[in-house]
Amino acid sequence: MAECEEEVEVLVQRVVKDITSAFKKNPSIDEIGVIPCPEARYNRSPIVLVENKLGVESWCVKFLLPYVHNKLLLYRQRKHWLDREALVDITCTVLLLNPDFTTAWNVRKELLQSGVLNPEKDLYLGQLALTKFPKSPETWIHRRWVLQHVLAQLAAVGSSRKHQQSGEGEQVDADRRQELSDHLARTLHQEMKVCSDAACRYPSNYNAWSHRIWVLQHMARGNAKVFHDELSSMRLWVSMHVSDHSGFHYRQFLLKELIHELSQSAGEEDLTGEGEGEERQLSFITVLQLFHQEMELISDLIRSFPGHETLWSHRRHVFFLWQQWRRDQKLSNGGELAQGDVWGGESVNGQSHSDAMEVERVCLPDPRDSKRLKRGVHLPAPPSLPSEYTFVSSVLDSCCPADQRRFAMSYKKWLDTVIVQEP
């Protein structure tokens, strides 16, 4: 393969054109990859499309990337002119092979703001780039920028509809709000899927989990159902990735947000004086069940997969979160709980923990289910220091690996030095 500038330019134009044609031929491409091929053996296109998979032969990459990088830099320096269609195709090509090229993403930002690109197309490009480079920080950053752009557009459309007149205009407004809500739900679901795929492709993918947290904070704030669903769906994932600390950190985030949301809803009821305390009681019971289920999950994982420090770290975090919530509840009720001091062994709704029914481990309780509250809800035993010491002793008494024993002793020491000494 000759390497003169003219031949390289012809090669690049051919590759860019073939990639563009591949997307037109199959808009459902869901994965990209580089095919190991040191040199061109046949006089054919280096772009291979098989079903929904797009491959690029490696021999052309060493010519393609430097040439396109230089073209884009010259364009940014206003030393070379490229029309909008060429910019779309060139940036698409280079970002599929090198998604950390910030200049290319910035060019696409300008194209999106000018209306040449639509946000869905840019999100799709980022999704494909993450199948090959699941940890690419620039891709995740650009993805958040696009989502912010989408949210701003939805907010602008929603505010403009507030000025609709009554009658037929109100019906149109309601239909439009439902359409925007459905669009937001689809985008949220798609982002969760992209994050899950990236987390499976790269262990402890901090960038993917951080993006997932950001999405929930900006697109599902105050939606307890979304957080419940995420916490439930994550059980299987963490059970299959017991050493992935980023995944457990995400689970800790979900637990904190749910507890905050439940406590906030109960506090708002106290201010309004509505519901005769039902909402507060139900929130209290739901929090207890959340902690119980989480401790049960982590206990099962520690016994099933001994010697994983991530599991013990997660247990430590959950128990500390329980201690904080317990202290906050006591302070908010003048030193005691309205429902009773459940961690002291007393009852809630007149029921003792000794005959508490087994809590379903998969389906989380719905805080809106007030019928169960009215007929009485059996509460699970909450976490406590004695139960934690008992669990550690059971682990140490079993035939466990040296690492498991070391982590158990470290956890016991943490209980002695941090929890016991708390006021």
- Can you give the pLDDT at residue 273? 57
Smallest Cα–Cα separation from 287: which of 334, 228, 212?
Answer: 228
- Relative to beta strand 53-57, strand 47-50 is antiparallel
Question: Which residue carries 């708390």 as its tokens?
Answer: 422
Interacting residues of 228 by C-beta distance below 8 A, sequence separation 6+: 258, 364, 366
Q: pLDDT, tens digit, for every residue of 48-71?
A: 999 999 999 999 998 899 989 988
Q: Which two tokens stand for residue 225?
A: 């159902």
Mean pLDDT of 279-299: 89
User: Distance of alpha carbon 293 from its chain centroid, rounded?
Assistant: 21
Surface-to-core class of residue 18, CB atoms within 10 Å of its CB (0-12 exposed, 13-18 middle, 19+ buried): middle
Residue 351 DSSP label? B
Smallest Cα–Cα separation from 359: which of 342, 343, 371, 377?
Answer: 377
Question: Which residue carries 């090229």 as its tokens?
Answer: 101
Smallest Cα–Cα separation from 388: which of 421, 355, 419, 422?
Answer: 419
Instruction: Report how far apart the first and last C-alpha atoms of the chain are (Å, whole number).
Output: 75
Of 72-86, 103-117, 168-182, 236-250, give the lowest mean pLDDT range: 168-182
- Write down how long the chain is: 423
Mean pLDDT of 309-325: 95
CB 408 within 8 A of CB 394: no
Mean pLDDT of 342-354: 41
Of 8-12, 171-175, 178-182, give the lowest mean pLDDT range: 171-175
Write down the pTM of the prediction: 0.84
Q: Which two tokens stand for residue 321?
A: 């979160």
Instruction: Give the C-alpha separation, 268 to 284, whole Å.
Output: 14
- Can you give the pLDDT at residue 274? 56
Surface-to-core class of residue 167, CB atoms within 10 Å of its CB (0-12 exposed, 13-18 middle, 19+ buried): exposed
Instruction: Give the C-alpha separation, 49 to 65, whole Å.
Output: 20
Following DSSP, what letter does each residue of 178-238 receive, concatenated?
HHHHHHHHHHHHHHHHHHHHHHHHSTT-HHHHHHHHHHHHHHSTT-HHHHHHHHHHHHHHH
Mean pLDDT of the chain: 83
Of 21-25, 261-265, 292-296, 351-355, give the lowest mean pLDDT range: 351-355
Instruction: Give the C-alpha separation, 373 to 68, whole Å.
Output: 64
Instruction: Give the C-alpha separation, 31 to 43, whole Å.
Output: 25
- Can you give the pLDDT at residue 58? 93
Interacting residues of 60 by C-beta distance below 8 A, sequence separation 6+: 11, 15, 40, 46
Instruction: Give the C-alpha separation, 267 to 331, whole Å.
Output: 13
Q: Which two tokens stand for residue 168?
A: 């037929």
